[in-house]
């Protein structure tokens, strides 16, 4: 039950002049050896790589808390943004019923067990309609709100928390409201851990060295998953399996390193867009999660030597077969600027057969007796063929079946590949100065103390010209 990667269709032997050649591999070799050494040297600092091994006690604590709390709530609500939201959504979509929240409580179970689980909502934006409409959908006093912010100063998440705290205390009183809030944050730094201790909220810790976009396999992602009945131990087991496969420093023996190397060589050939296109609804939100991981990690102005490089590869999300009827035309005949990653599944969890109708109509009759399982697989193969025929780089990642173990493999695979790609590009894959600039500008606009210089800088910017406003 291992993830497979097929990269035949990125090679020049398959797609011609746009493909990767042996000369490209040879040219990358010095950077690959250096990046492999950097990964080895920096592993102690990459605490997310130890998450598959050092969380037995944490997993037990999460399971115990979920067992204690789940029957007394209707919904578990995540207040978070970025990796704090995208990861929980991706795992929930992948492993639970696609209409999980619409199922009656007694059908929201884990593997047919007697236990049932609350609904899951993820509030990851501050559109003023979002919380108002959520409160019209759920009874907040019957929910458990998980506030996720390592710094405790994430404006979006903390503003949501402040609204929820005030609402719960008004309706329930302070003591009862306290039991409806659980925090996930740093063990000692920032506002949220201070608030959690002062207010006596239950809290879980984001380990040191685990950034937001690398945090799905710690309490950030494990706590919401546990409240939905997902086997969080299986996720970590799968991640450990992938870590074992990613120990070799050689790209030809390490699937995550090869994925990264292929993308960097593609980037060197002008392929500055990477498309992740799952052929399974269960994996739909993996594309969203990957987009943050890849884009935020690799889009950088400076390299590690201080040179201006403005490097990065734009991640695009698609869904097979849906986007065969929208985006694939561009991929097959548009600019030669893309690497397309098809994400497939060997065995779907359900089978449905098309009835034998309209057999006198050749354009419909051929479908009779065919399963949707075969149809989606053949459409994936057809897309691969069309892309390859038109000389477009494409590769395929395949899960034997979507399970906690294989999903854990996939998440960890992408994380290792992202880190390695960063070092191949000689940039820091773990910072996000572009994000910080936007945050600082927001703080300045609201007059937050300490951001007066940024406000002055913004005020000094040239005004817009009204003649260019239509």
Give catalytic residue positions. Answer: 296, 325, 439
Report d(CA 295, CA 248) in Å as an integer. 25
As a dihedral over the C-alpha atoms of residue 90, residue 347, residue 244, residue 59, rounded to 10 degrees, the angle is 50
- Written in H, E and C, the secondary structure of the chain is CCCEEECHHHEHHHHHHHCECHHHHHHHHHHHHHHHHHHHHHHHHCHHHHCCCCCHHHHHHHHHHHHHHHHHCCEEEEECCCHHHHHHHHHHHHHCCCCHHHCCHHHCECCCCCCECCEEEEECCCCHHHHHHHHHHCCHHHEEEEEECCCCCCHHHHHHHHHHHHHHHHHHCHHHHHCCEEEEECCCCCHHHHHHHHHCCEEEECCCCCCHHHCCCCHHHHHHHHHCCCCHHHHHHHHHHHHHHCCCCCCCCCHHHHHHHHHHHHHHCCCCEEEEEECCHHHCCHHHHHHHHHHHHHCEEECCCCCEEEECCEEEECCCCHHHHCCHHHHHHCCCCEEEEEEEECCCCCCCECCCCCCCCHHHHCCCCCEHHHHHHHHHHHHHHHHHHCCCEEEEEEECCCCHHHHHHHHHHHHHHHHHHHHHCCCCCCCCHHHHHHHHHHHHHCCCCCCHHHHHHHHCCCCCCHHHCC
Cβ-based neighbours of 387, under 8 Å, separated by 6 or more: 9, 328, 331, 332, 340, 393, 394
Q: How far apart are the C-alpha atoms of 235 and 410, rounded to whole Å?
A: 10
Nearest to 341 by CA among 284, 277, 416, 409: 277
Buried-state track 285-304, b at ≥16 Cβ within 10 A, e below 16: bbbbbbbbbbbbbbbbebee
* Close Cβ partners of 131 (under 8 Å, ≥ 6 residues apart): 123, 160, 163
């Amino acid at each position: 039950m291992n993830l497979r990667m097929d990269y035949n269709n990125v090679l020049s032997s398959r797609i011609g002049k746009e493909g990767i050649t042996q000369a490209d591999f040879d040219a990358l070799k010095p950077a690959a050896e250096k990046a492999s050494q950097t990964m080895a040297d920096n592993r102690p600092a990459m605490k997310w790589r130890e998450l598959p091994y050092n969380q037995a006690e944490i997993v037990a604590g999460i399971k115990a808390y979920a067992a204690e709390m789940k029957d007394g709530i209707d919904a578990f609500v995540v207040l978070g943004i970025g990796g704090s939201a995208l990861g929980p959504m991706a795992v929930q979509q992948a492993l639970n019923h696609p209409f999980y929240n619409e199922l009656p409580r007694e059908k929201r179970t884990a593997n047919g067990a007697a236990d049932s689980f609350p609904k899951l909502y993820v509030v990851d934006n501050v559109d003023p309609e979002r919380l108002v409409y959520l409160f019209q959908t759920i009874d907040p006093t019957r929910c458990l709100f998980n506030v996720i912010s390592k710094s405790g100063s994430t404006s979006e998440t903390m503003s949501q928390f402040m609204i929820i705290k005030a609402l719960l205390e008004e309706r329930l009183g302070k003591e009862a409201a306290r039991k409806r809030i659980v925090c996930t944050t740093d063990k000692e730094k920032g506002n949220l851990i201070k608030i959690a201790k002062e207010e006596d909220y239950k809290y879980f810790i984001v380990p040191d060295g685990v950034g937001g976009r690398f945090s799905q396999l710690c309490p950030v992602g494990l706590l919401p998953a546990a409240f939905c009945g997902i086997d969080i131990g299986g996720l970590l087991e799968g991640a450990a399996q992938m870590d074992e496969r990613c120990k070799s420093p050689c790209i030809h023996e390490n699937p995550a390193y090869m994925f990264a190397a292929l993308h960097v060589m593609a980037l060197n050939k002008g392929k500055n867009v990477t498309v992740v296109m799952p052929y399974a609804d269960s994996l739909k939100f993996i594309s969203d999660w990957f987009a943050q991981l890849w884009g935020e990690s690799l889009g950088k102005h400076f390299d590690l030597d201080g040179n201006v490089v403005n490097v990065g590869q734009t991640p695009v999300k698609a869904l097979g077969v849906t986007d065969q009827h929208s985006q694939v035309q561009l991929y097959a005949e548009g600019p030669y600027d893309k690497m397309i990653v098809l994400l497939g599944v060997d065995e779907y969890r359900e089978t449905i057969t098309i009835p034998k109708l309209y057999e006198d109509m050749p354009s419909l009759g051929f479908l009779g007796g065919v399963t949707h399982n075969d149809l989606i697989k053949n459409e994936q193969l057809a897309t691969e063929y069309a892309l390859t025929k038109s000389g477009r780089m494409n590769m395929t990642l395949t899960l034997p079946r979507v399970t906690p173990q294989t999903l854990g493999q996939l998440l960890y695979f992408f994380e290792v590949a992202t880190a390695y790609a960063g070092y191949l590009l000689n940039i820091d894959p773990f910072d996000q100065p572009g994000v910080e600039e936007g945050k600082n500008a927001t703080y300045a606009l609201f007059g937050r103390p300490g951001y007066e210089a940024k406000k002055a800088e913004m005020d000094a910017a040239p005004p817009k010209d009204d003649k260019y406003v239509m």
